[in-house]
Structure 1
Amino acid sequence: MANLASGYLLWFVGRLSRFHKQAILLFLDVVLAPAALLASLHFLLPPMMALEMVVQGAYGFLAVTCFAAVGSPLLGIPKIKLKAYEAVGAIRTALLALFAGLGLWLASLWVGFALPAAVMPLFLLIYILLMVIARFALLSLLLSVLRQGQVRRNVVIYGAGNTGTMLASALRAHESIHVVAFVDDSKSVQGMTLMGLKVYPANHLEKIVARHDVERVLLAMPSASAARQASIARDLVSRGLDVHALPSIAQLVGAEVIVDTLAPFSPSAFLGRDPVNDLRPEASDAYGGKTILVTGAGGSVGAELCRQLIRYRPACIVLFEVSEIALYTIRHEMAPQTEALGICLVPLLGTVTESRQVRAALAKYKVDVILHAAAYKHVPLVEDNPIAGLNNNVLGTRTLAEAAVEQGVKRFILISTDKAVRPTNVMGASKRMAEFVVQDMARRATTTDFSIVRFGNVLGSSGSVVPLFREQIRMGGPVTLTHEDVTRYFMTISEAAALVLIAGGLSLSRGPHEGDLFVLDMGQPIRIRDLAERMILAAGYTVKSAENPCGQIEVVLIGLRPGEKLHEELLIQPGMLTTPHEKILRVQERGLTNMEMTMALRDLRAAVAIGDAAAACHTLETYVEGYESKFQRYPDTRRKRIRS
């Protein structure tokens, strides 16, 4: 029977229009006015005297009814939703009571009878109380009806400050969410009752969760640091709770700025030397007025090459990129500058592994210079996908280099990496093979000048440790480190691009057919643990360690990844030659012979064609010094035959 009544009420409430709801509230305001007057007379006078006063004061009842009927709509009280009836609604209710009291006073003057002095204030008080109680009673009835058949979720608010109390107030009338308690770390508010809810210390949370079957905790502490919030969130998640954090109300409306607590830092501060960013006349001659094709134009280094090329005023920049979103992004960024300077900007979707597409692009746009930055560079990903990595990094480089010679491209610059030196992973070995390809093409070419620029890690590039550390610090840690003593060479993205462009100019000034291999003087390698700790401190946090157990962010060792080296190298053979640029050195390293190169490419193409990762990696092992395949090697005497 009760369920039937509840169902009927739910149906009835659902069919009420806004006009009907406002009419009900107006009816309450009008009816409660004479009821309040009757109650005040009843409380102050004996029954018979009260009845006599009612008869004599009939005009008074009529007056308060009429004034209430007029004053309530004028003050907009029926338009105030029951869920939103708080301070503003109470003030308007008091004003309506005063207006009705004014009507009662005017009526008593009109008919000439005197009310007891205490009637007026008592009427005002009772009328206000009746209107407030009626609305809260209606709200309770409405919520009980709306909650029929709904699963209510019990939640705890972590943080009893302004944001927490405002959140509790907003959720108090929610149909499906029930706030059961506050939790706060501050002892000054623990034990207090706010919004009808008790504030508990954090160590009581487990009991609260068990007692009220809590599933979700709402973090309402925007003033706490991101590290503190993340630490609390991890602890709550470990207990099986769903955690949601929210900014302060002031931040939501724009009165306060939502600040990224990880303060920006200058990457060059970690280099220990001055960055390279100067223009050289040789580079200006190499690129000014020329058509430049940049492969991997949407990548970290490729995009920066495109940006810096604008300074040399080339005639055309061809953005060659396999990723649609990356190509769109760099084109959208560069278009305003190139249009203002009259530089032609060509976005071209494509891959260096497609021979016909590469040749068509070089022929159509009459490319003068190729900056080959396209490569799969993430060590763990290439380790897990050797066929794709070798096809792109090695065979793609060969395809592009052959097309460059065929189409009369004047300059070809390969972007290489220090991971190509005695590599222990497929990615590094593939880049070493790409260097062999360029050295071999340099010997064969008569019109195209080939060169290689080799450098270390780029600070801030996609997949590098800097953005990874930034994100881990933003989330409150821990910061993951592969080894306590791991080191790397670093440069900024802008410095890397400047080096490549300057080296291209230097090589062009020396004449073709040299196959130069340039290496940047990168200073001393940087210990990655030192980098992590400095980034934590730069973000305004402290490092948690055995010496400082109260620190905010911990550095955790996770072990070297497959194929990762403890220390990178820049040179295979000792000895470097100077160049006109003090930061660029030229090295002479032996490549493969013509026969070795032919056999290596034949074996590699065959392995890639059938997807034989083991055979492909064994080919790398045969020709690349330092690399050892993770696959078991089949009986093979090719290495001895080639090297003998």
Structure 2
Amino acid sequence: MRNFIELIFDKAFTLERSTKKSILFFLDVLLISISYYLSVGLSRNNIIFNVGILDISHYAIVLSGSIILLYIFNLYREVTRFVSLNVLVTTATSSLLAGILCFVSGLVLSTAYAGLATSIIFSLLLCTTLGGLRLIITSYFSSRLNTNKKHVLIYGAGSAGRQLATSLMSGGEYFPMAFIDDDKSLEGASIQGIKIYNSSKLKELVSEKSIDRVLLAVPSISRAERKSIINKVEKAGVAVQTIPGMTDIVSGKMKIDEFQNVDIEDLLGRDPVPPVQELLEKDIRNNVVMVTGAGGSIGAELCRQIVNLKPSVLVLYEISEYNLYAVEQELRIICDSNSLDSKVKPVLGSVCDRFRLQSVMNHFEVDTIYHAAAYKHVPMVELNVLEGINNNIFGTLNAAMAAVDAGVKSFVLISTDKAVRPTNVMGATKRVAELVLQGLGSTESNIRFSIVRFGNVLGSSGSVVPLFKKQIRNGGPLTVTHPDITRYFMTIPEAAQLVIQAGAMAKGGDVFVLDMGEPVKIVELAEKLILLMGLELKNKENPDGEISIKYTGLRPGEKLFEELLVGSNVEGTVHPRIMTATERYLPWKELENYLSKLKEAYLHKDYSVIREVLRTLPTDFSPSEEFSDLLCEAAPRSNENVISMTKRRDT
């Protein structure tokens, strides 16, 4: 019998709209007739009674009048399988008016069956039957449609969660099975028939209700709170997505049910600390500012923040033509959109070209330099040792000496945690670059040299995050070098903002270290990223997952753990996330001798001397193996030719 009824409903679901209206009209006529008959019978305590011509006329008036009222209130325009509260209120109003019509017409016709009791009972029965019919149809179609929807939990029973539930129930893809909320006072309550559970029951609900994903409807919480929620969802082993921000919803850019992957920044759980405005503006506002490596990840973000601080001129110094073009176009849009008067000057050039650097600094009369130009990718520098040394060490030396000669006031070097007790050439070259600025800072009093050291930034060109996202889009696997490898992470905007403020604190030769929070295991980052992109990890415990993780082994020069401090002498500053470190360095005259020896070894491609100098300098360089440079075993045309060409290029 049940299957027969379902078959009838399914058949009705496929009928033309006009046919559906005709069926509904017929059912309404039947229900109005039944309600009229029962109201008369109940009012007389006898369902068997004689009917005269006036009684038939009264029935005809009530029937036709009730149908007309249903048309007047547009009850046949509504899609019955999506009945709202408004439809039920309209049905009740129509039934009340039909009852009044029943009473008034009965008085006019003087029929014995149309008293006040009959009219009241008729009105109540009509409201119940007509409303009940529509609710039954709605309930049936909702249950049939919901069987094909993905089951989701809504995390957050606030206004955003309620709006999301309403949107999902009228949609065709997701059905909210329950609300999850950390507010224990809401536990057990219901919203729109959907029960609210405490977050402690998240894992249990995921299993019981076959949940496909959790939707975060908590747009106003902090990153620390969001990280805590994501950790709970991760333990439940289910995908997670979030609704757009309220600003995008209110502005009409996005709808509440246009779900987004959770930002990778939420994994850090770090809310940005308000900047010290005086420090931000000190070396930038109304000054001529130059950024080397302006087209890189950090360099470009520095430029974005600097241009909003209203320098008189912002010089973009970049070796890549395309990167320079891209960042210049973006900055011009920012200037136009915010009515900024700062002049943006794109300059093509290499930090290995001392003459070019000197010309640019003298021409624009540069006040402040942020030196972000460097080769930072560990495996690439390991395979190209000579260029790593030339760019990272001598490029920094060129820029620093040119800055001294040009009368620059402040010079900030962007360094890395890989410079601390390095096991790779990239880290060693960055540590030597730090020594260059420390040495010069001890002798030059007219310029403030400073170093800002921090770890990986999320989403940079050398970060694992873009690689992981690409691998996920390609179906995996995600490649991780070692299950225990950890790294410090920070967002690019936060890192750039802190760099600017740290540089403004410098007195000369300072080493600033940014608070990176707790180190993150790369494999955990990979697992969370899979979850955040709405997918499931494939492993022995979950063989039906979509994305797996593959371990490839540590690369040449790669460390399991990174550090931020060479020594233990660290002090706080006026900013809670900027520390200053006191670390050993060499007097400039002594360092010059080492740099000369390193330059000679570079020109002669003498890798053994290069290795010796890097280890002799106070770098704590401890390479795990011999250099992996691609040219180590290649025989040049002659060392004399190589030296001659290099000297001509430098000149």
Q: TM-score band (shorter)?
A: 0.5 to 0.7
* 2:378 corresponds to: 382
The partner residue of 1:457 within 432, 442, 452 is 452
Compared CA separation, residues 44 and 102, structure 1 to 2 (3 A): closer
Q: 1:519 aligned to 2:525? A: no
Compared CA separation, residues 144 and 572, structure 1 to 2 (3 A): closer
Cα distance in 1 for partners of 2:603, 2:56 equals 112
Cα distance in 2 for partners of 1:404, 1:248 equals 44
Q: By how many angstroms is 1:32 displaced?
A: 3.3
Q: 1:573 aligned to 2:569? A: no
Cα distance in 1 for partners of 2:71, 2:21 equals 9
Q: By how many angstroms is 1:127 displaced?
A: 0.6
Cα distance in 1 for partners of 2:601, 2:16 equals 81
Q: 1:632 aligned to 2:615? A: no
Q: Normalising by the residue count of structure 1, what TM-score does the alignment of the two structures yield?
A: 0.59
1:395 maps to a residue whose letter is: N
* 1:50 corresponds to: 49
* 1:429 corresponds to: 428
Compared CA separation, residues 70 and 248, structure 1 to 2 (3 A): farther
* 1:238 corresponds to: 235
Q: 1:112 aligned to 2:110? A: yes
CA deviation vs aligned residue, 1:323-369 (integer Å, no higher than 9, x gap): 3654443343346789847x4x3435x562797xx999999999556
Cα distance in 2 for partners of 1:339, 1:267 equals 21
Q: By how many angstroms is 1:197 displaced?
A: 5.8
For the 8 Å contact 1:216–1:243, the answer to whether it is kept is: yes
1:94 maps to a residue whose letter is: A
Q: By how many angstroms is 1:142 displaced?
A: 2.7
Compared CA separation, residues 105 and 617, structure 1 to 2 (3 A): farther
Cα distance in 2 for partners of 1:239, 1:400 equals 49
Give the SS at the match of 1:456: strand
CA deviation vs aligned residue, 1:542-573 (integer Å, no higher than 9, x gap): xxxxxxxxxxxxxxxx9941796355545523
* 2:554 corresponds to: none
* 1:86 corresponds to: 84
* 1:13 corresponds to: 13
Q: 1:295 aligned to 2:301? A: no
Question: How does 1:239-318 map onto structure 2 within 5 Å?
Answer: 239-244=236-241, 265-268=273-276, 275=279, 294-298=291-295, 299-300=298-299, 303=303, 307=307, 311=311, 313=312, 317-318=315-316
1:78 maps to a residue whose letter is: Y
* 1:561 corresponds to: 562
For the 8 Å contact 2:180–2:202, the answer to whether it is kept is: yes
* 2:331 corresponds to: 330
CA deviation vs aligned residue, 1:260-301 (integer Å, no higher than 9, x gap): 9977644459xxxx9596589xx99xx88xxx8642235458
Compared CA separation, residues 181 and 247, structure 1 to 2 (3 A): same
Give the SS at the match of 1:375: coil
* 2:473 corresponds to: none
Q: 1:126 aligned to 2:125? A: yes
Cα distance in 2 for partners of 1:81, 1:75 equals 14
Give the SS at the match of 1:122: helix
For the 8 Å contact 1:386–1:617, the answer to whether it is kept is: no
1:136 maps to a residue whose letter is: L
Compared CA separation, residues 351 and 126, structure 1 to 2 (3 A): farther
1:382 maps to a residue whose letter is: V
Cα distance in 1 for partners of 2:435, 2:186 equals 70
Q: By how many angstroms is 1:593 displaced?
A: 6.8
For the 8 Å contact 1:429–1:624, the answer to whether it is kept is: no
Q: By how many angstroms is 1:125 displaced?
A: 0.5
Give the SS at the match of 1:592: helix
For the 8 Å contact 1:302–1:374, the answer to whether it is kept is: no
Q: RMSD of aligned C-alpha atoms?
A: 5.9
Compared CA separation, residues 402 and 338, structure 1 to 2 (3 A): farther
For the 8 Å contact 1:321–1:327, the answer to whether it is kept is: no
CA deviation vs aligned residue, 1:52-91 (integer Å, no higher than 9, x gap): 15x4322222223332333223222233333542332221
Compared CA separation, residues 50 and 619, structure 1 to 2 (3 A): farther
For the 8 Å contact 1:268–1:491, the answer to whether it is kept is: no
* 1:599 corresponds to: 600
For the 8 Å contact 1:295–1:374, the answer to whether it is kept is: yes
Cα distance in 2 for partners of 1:78, 1:202 equals 43
Cα distance in 2 for partners of 1:337, 1:223 equals 26
Compared CA separation, residues 527 and 496, structure 1 to 2 (3 A): closer
Q: By how many angstroms is 1:599 displaced?
A: 2.1
Cα distance in 2 for partners of 1:279, 1:229 equals 35
Give the SS at the match of 1:454: strand
Cα distance in 1 for partners of 2:434, 2:191 equals 70
Q: By how many angstroms is 1:455 displaced?
A: 1.3
Compared CA separation, residues 498 and 588, structure 1 to 2 (3 A): farther
* 1:395 corresponds to: 391
Compared CA separation, residues 319 and 592, structure 1 to 2 (3 A): same
Cα distance in 1 for partners of 2:487, 2:93 equals 67
* 1:96 corresponds to: 94
Compared CA separation, residues 279 and 94, structure 1 to 2 (3 A): closer
Give the SS at the match of 1:347: strand
> Which is further off, 108-117 or 220-229?
220-229
Cα distance in 2 for partners of 1:435, 1:422 equals 8
Cα distance in 1 for partners of 2:327, 2:60 equals 76
1:123 maps to a residue whose letter is: F
For the 8 Å contact 1:415–1:454, the answer to whether it is kept is: yes
Structure 2, unmatched stretches of 5+, are 257-265, 464-485, 489-495, 519-558, 569-580, 633-651
Compared CA separation, residues 86 and 368, structure 1 to 2 (3 A): closer
Question: How does 1:403-414 map onto structure 2 within 5 Å?
Answer: none
Question: How does 1:182-201 map onto structure 2 within 5 Å?
Answer: 188=185, 190=187
CA deviation vs aligned residue, 1:604-635 (integer Å, no higher than 9, x gap): 6x87xxxxxxx79726626744342424359x
For the 8 Å contact 1:220–1:248, the answer to whether it is kept is: no
Compared CA separation, residues 72 and 248, structure 1 to 2 (3 A): farther
Cα distance in 1 for partners of 2:613, 2:601 equals 8
Aligned residues: percent identity?
20
* 1:34 corresponds to: 33
Compared CA separation, residues 61 and 421, structure 1 to 2 (3 A): closer
> Which is further off, 8-17 or 55-64?
8-17
Q: By how many angstroms is 1:133 displaced?
A: 1.1
* 1:513 corresponds to: none
For the 8 Å contact 2:396–2:433, the answer to whether it is kept is: no
Cα distance in 2 for partners of 1:248, 1:434 equals 42
Q: By how many angstroms is 1:240 displaced?
A: 1.8
Give the SS at the match of 1:79: coil
* 1:476 corresponds to: none
* 1:621 corresponds to: 614
Q: By how many angstroms is 1:94 displaced?
A: 1.4
* 1:59 corresponds to: 57
Cα distance in 1 for partners of 2:247, 2:31 equals 39
2:51 maps to a residue whose letter is: E
Structure 1, unmatched stretches of 5+, are 441-448, 469-479, 483-489, 501-517, 533-557, 575-586, 608-614, 637-644
Cα distance in 2 for partners of 1:421, 1:224 equals 34
Cα distance in 2 for partners of 1:50, 1:138 equals 34
For the 8 Å contact 1:37–1:61, the answer to whether it is kept is: yes
Cα distance in 1 for partners of 2:438, 2:586 equals 16
CA deviation vs aligned residue, 1:359-400 (integer Å, no higher than 9, x gap): 99999999556757242376xx43774446863673377579
